[in-house]
Structure 1
Amino acid sequence: MTQTMLIALALALPAPAAPVQTTEQRQVSAVELFALAAKAEGAGRPDDAETMYRALARDPDAEIRAEARFRLGQLLERMGRKREAATTYRALLDEKPDAARVRLELARLLTQLGDEGAARRELRQAQAGGLPPQVAQLVDQFAAALRSRKPWGASLEVALVPDSNVNRATDAATLDTVLAPLQLSRDAREQSGIGARIGGQLYARVPVAANLALVPRVSGQGDFYDRGRFNDVSASALVGLEWSLGRDRLRPSIGGTQRWYGGSPYARTATAAIDWQHPLGSRAQLTTSATIADTRYRGNRLQDGLLLNGAIAYERAFSARAGGSLTLSATRQTANDPGYATAGGGASLLGWREFGRTTVYATIGLRRLEGDARLFLFPQRRKEWNVSLGLGGTFRRLQIHGFAPIVRLDWERNRSTVGIYDYVRKAATIGLTRAF
C-alpha cells in the first residue's frame, strides 16, 4: 500500500518540463537523442539508453539536464540500481529544488532502501515547497502510514579526524586539591592527534503483525590513533519493536553496550529505551525519547549507577532547500559516590541549507551540569557550562560511486569548577557519506 500511494501521488505531478531550446539545430539533436534512448531501452539495450541519458545530463541547457536525469533515474530503477537512481534524483534536485515529483520519487526510493527518516524529510521538503491540494492530501496520508519495507540493512562510515584534544582533558600541568597541588602526568593532560573513525550498523526487520515489526540491531564505532592508549571503541546490540499507531510511531528497545578505552574494558551498560515520533502538520515532526541505563565502570566502582536521559526534538522544513531542528534534553546520573552523581540539561539548534550541489549545516549547543557533592580531592562541587559549535558541508559535486565527501569543523568549551574537567577542544572530520 505504501509504495502504491507514492507512485500514485508522484504521477499526479508533472515530470520536469520537456526540453525547449533556443537553437533549432540543438533542439532537434536533443529531441532525437531522447527518442533514440527510449528506442534503445524498448529494444532491450538499456546500457545504450543509459549512455545517451548520461550524455544529455551534461548538456549546457538546464531543462535538458533535468529531463535527462529524470529519465535516467527511472531507467536505473527499472534496472534494479536503486541507489544510483536515488543519487541521480538528488543531482536533479540540487539544480531544481522545487521539482516536487522528483522529490516524491526520491522519497519512494528511500523508503525501498530502508531509510525511513530521510524519506519523511523529503516529504516535508516537498510540502514546504508547495503542492496541489489533491497531491498534498495524498502526501499527508502517505507520511502518516510510512513504514520501511526493507527486511535488513547496513551502513558504514569512514572518516579522518584531526583533534586538538582527543582525551577531552585539561591543559593545566597542576590542579588545586584539598591536600596539595596535584601534578598531572603528560597522558592525563590535553593530547592532540589525527585519528581514523570507523562506524557502522546492521539491522533486520521482522514483521510480527500489520503495524508491528521486531527490529534487532548491532552497531559499533571506533576512534583509532597512532598512540593506542587513546583508542576509544564501543559496540552495541539492541532488540526493539516498531509499532505504528495511526500517524504516530512508537519504538521501545532493550540492549547493551560495551566500551573499551586504550584497548582495555572501560564500561558496560544495560539499556532500556523508548521513543515516540509524531507529525505536526505537513512540514514538522516531533520526536521524544527516554532512556534508562545501568552503567558499570571497570576501573572505578564509585562511578557505578543509573543513567536517565530524556529528550524532545522539533524538526521543521522551512522551504524546499532549508530546514532546522531544536532539541531539549535532561540527564540524571546516579553513582555510588555522590561526587560522581550529576544532573544536567541542555538545548541545541541545527540549521541546514542547500546551495546547488552542496548542503551546509550549522549547530550550536549549550549544556549545564552540576554534581551532587564535591569529590574528595577537590575543594568545590562540580559545576559546568558546556558550549559547542559545529559547521559542516556535504559536497555532492565530488561524489564517487554514490558517496560524497563531508567536512565538519567542531569547537567545544567545557568550563568547570573542577580543573580536571575543564577543557577546550577543536576537531575536524573529513569523510564520506551517501550522496542522496
Structure 2
Amino acid sequence: MLSTEGVSASQMLDLGEHLAVAGKIGDANLILDALKQNDEGSREQILLAGIIAVAQGNLSLAEAGFRTLLLRDPHDTRVRLELARVLFLLHRYAAADYHFRLSAARSPTSVQHNISLFRRAIQAQRTWRVSVEGGIAPDTNVNSAGRDRIVDLFGLPFNVDNDAREKSGVGVFANADVELRLRRSEAVGLSIRAFGNAREYRRSAFNDEVAGIEIGPQFRFGNAQVIVAGTGLFRWYGREIYSRALGAALRVELPISAQWQVDLKPQFRSVNYLQNPSQNGPFMSLNGQISRSLGSHALGQIDFLASRQSARAPGYAYREAGLGVSAFAELGNGITVGGSIEAARTVFDAPLFGFAKTRRDWRAATTISVLNRNWILLGFSPVARLSFARSKSTISFFEYRRTRLELALQRPF
C-alpha cells in the first residue's frame, strides 16, 4: 500500500497527474486510491479521477467528474480549464469555447496564451452549432399594443378597435438556430445558417412566426472570421404572410484576446410588406456585441444597434439606435443567473397618414433569467425569464407596457 504520510492532497494530485500524463496509469491509480482513503469525494480525488479518465480516453467519464466539481464551486478555474479541454476533445466546440473564455479571467498570461490558441483552433474546426428552446409564456400584452380607447385621426376622435388594444394571454413559443460550416481549406469555407422563432396563442390573430436563412463564403484572416452571406427573412402574423426580405449580410467574429471578443454584423435587405406596400423599402442596419469574461464564472456584454428603414410613404420610414448591457454568472449547484437592460430610440421621417404629429419613440426593457443546468430532461435544462418593457411615444396610441414570463427548456452547453 502506498504511504501518504506527510503528503498533502494537493501534492498527491500533482504526482498523480504527472504519472497519468506519462502513461503510468497503474501508478496514478495507486495515488487515486490513497486519495479515496483519505477523503473520498474530495476535489483532489474527483479531479485526479478525471485526469486519469482523459489519459485512458474515457472523456465522458472525465466530463461528468469535472462538471460535478463545477456544480460545487463555479469559481474553480483549474477544473473549468480541464472541462474545456475535454469538451474540445469531444468536438463540442461551442461549449468548450464558453468554458475557455470564463477560465481566462483568472489565469496567468502563459495560460491565457494557450487559451487563445485553443479558441483559434475551435474557430477553425467548428463545423456546426445548434441552439433550441421552447416553452410557455404568460404575457400581459401579447400584441404590444396600447390602452387608448380613442385615437385622433384627421383632427377627429375615433374609437380604437378592441383587437388593436392591449391583450393579455398565455402562449407557447419556440426558438431554433442551426449553423453548418463546411471547410474548403484552412482559410476558406461555406456557412449555412437557418433560424426561426414562433409565438403561438389561442387566438391565432396574434400568432407571430419568423424564419430566415443565411448562406455564403467564410474567410479566416488571422484570429478574425468573416462571413459574406446572402439572406432571406420571412415573417407571418396572424397566420398570414406579413413581410419577406432578401439581402446580404457581413458577419465578423473577432476574438481580441482570451477574455475579449467583438462581433459585428452590417446588413442590407429589401423588404416587401405584403399587406401594406406603403411600407416597402430598403433596410440597413449595424449590430454589434462586445463581450468579456468578468471572472471564472461570469460574462458581460454590451450590444449596440443602428438601423435605417426607408419606405414608399415617409410616415413608415425611420431611424433607430439602441444600446444594451447584460451579464450572467454561475452561482453553484448548476444555477446561472443573468440580467440585461436595454434602451432604443426610434424617429420616423414624417407623420403617419391621418396623424398630426411625427412619431418619436423611446423603448426600454429589462430581463432577469435563471437557468438550472443541474436538472436535465432529455438533454434540455429549465430556464425562467421575467421581462419588463415600456414604450413612450409622441403619439400616445403607440405607447405600451408589457410584462412577460417565459418558462422554457433549452439545450445546455
Answer whether TM exceeds 0.5 for this pair. yes
1:388-407 equivalences under 5 Å are 388-407=365-384
Decide which moves more: 295-304 or 86-95.
86-95
Q: Which residue of 2 aligns with 1:208?
A: 184
Q: Which residue of 1 aligns with 2:358?
A: 381
For structure 2, the 5+ residue unaligned runs are: 1-8, 14-24, 30-35
Decide which moves more: 103-112 or 183-192.
103-112
Matched, 1:252 2:232: no
Post-superposition offset of 1:166: 0.8
Contact 1:124 1:317 in 2 (8 A): yes
> Which secondary structure does the structure 2 equivalent of 1:146 belong to?
helix
Post-superposition offset of 1:92: 2.4
Amino acid at match of 2:388: W
Contact 1:69 1:89 in 2 (8 A): no
Amino acid at match of 1:343: R
Contact 2:46 2:65 in 1 (8 A): no
1:83-232 equivalences under 5 Å are 89-111=66-88, 116-131=93-108, 133-147=109-123, 149-232=125-208
Over 3 Å counting, the alpha-carbon distance change for 1:115 and 1:269 in structure 2 is farther
Over 3 Å counting, the alpha-carbon distance change for 1:374 and 1:125 in structure 2 is same
Post-superposition offset of 1:64: 6.4
Post-superposition offset of 1:193: 0.9
Q: Which residue of 2 aligns with 1:359?
A: 336
Per-residue CA shift, 1:300-355, capped at 9, x if unaligned?
00001111111232111111012211122211110000000000111100011221
Contact 2:292 2:301 in 1 (8 A): yes
Decide which moves more: 402-411 or 171-180.
171-180
User: Which of the residues 278, 296, 301 maps onto 2:272?
Assistant: 296
Contact 2:74 2:331 in 1 (8 A): no
**Inter-partner Cα distance in structure 2 for 1:222 and 1:77:** 42
Per-residue CA shift, 1:352-411, capped at 9, x if unaligned?
122112111110001111000001211110101101011011112323343221000000
Decide which moves more: 110-119 or 362-371.
110-119
1:229-378 equivalences under 5 Å are 229-356=205-332, 357-378=334-355
> Which secondary structure does the structure 1 equivalent of 2:271 belong to?
strand
- Aligned length in residues: 384
Amino acid at match of 1:205: R
**Inter-partner Cα distance in structure 1 for 2:236 and 2:56:** 43
Contact 2:129 2:180 in 1 (8 A): yes
Over 3 Å counting, the alpha-carbon distance change for 1:295 and 1:69 in structure 2 is farther
**Inter-partner Cα distance in structure 2 for 1:76 and 1:236:** 44
Decide which moves more: 409-418 or 311-320.
311-320
**Inter-partner Cα distance in structure 1 for 2:270 and 2:111:** 48
Q: Which residue of 1 aligns with 2:43?
A: 63
Contact 2:193 2:214 in 1 (8 A): yes
**Inter-partner Cα distance in structure 1 for 2:382 and 2:211:** 25
> Which secondary structure does the structure 1 equivalent of 2:295 belong to?
coil
Over 3 Å counting, the alpha-carbon distance change for 1:117 and 1:202 in structure 2 is closer
TM-score, normalised to structure 2, is 0.84
Over 3 Å counting, the alpha-carbon distance change for 1:371 and 1:91 in structure 2 is farther
For structure 1, the 5+ residue unaligned runs are: 1-15, 21-37, 43-55
Over 3 Å counting, the alpha-carbon distance change for 1:111 and 1:190 in structure 2 is farther
Amino acid at match of 2:306: A
Contact 2:363 2:390 in 1 (8 A): yes
Post-superposition offset of 1:108: 4.0
Decide which moves more: 172-181 or 425-434.
172-181
Q: Which residue of 1 aligns with 2:386?
A: 409
Decide which moves more: 365-374 or 235-244.
235-244
Post-superposition offset of 1:109: 5.0
Amino acid at match of 2:104: Q
Per-residue CA shift, 1:104-148, capped at 9, x if unaligned?
3433455567665543332221111224x5433222223334325
> Which secondary structure does the structure 2 equivalent of 1:380 belong to?
coil
**Inter-partner Cα distance in structure 2 for 1:233 and 1:369:** 23
Over 3 Å counting, the alpha-carbon distance change for 1:124 and 1:350 in structure 2 is same
**Inter-partner Cα distance in structure 2 for 1:250 and 1:110:** 25
Q: Which residue of 2 aligns with 1:25?
A: none
Post-superposition offset of 1:77: 7.0
Q: Which residue of 1 aligns with 2:21?
A: none
Amino acid at match of 2:123: R
Matched, 1:429 2:406: yes
Post-superposition offset of 1:86: 5.2
Over 3 Å counting, the alpha-carbon distance change for 1:97 and 1:87 in structure 2 is same
**Inter-partner Cα distance in structure 2 for 1:360 and 1:19:** 35
Post-superposition offset of 1:203: 3.4
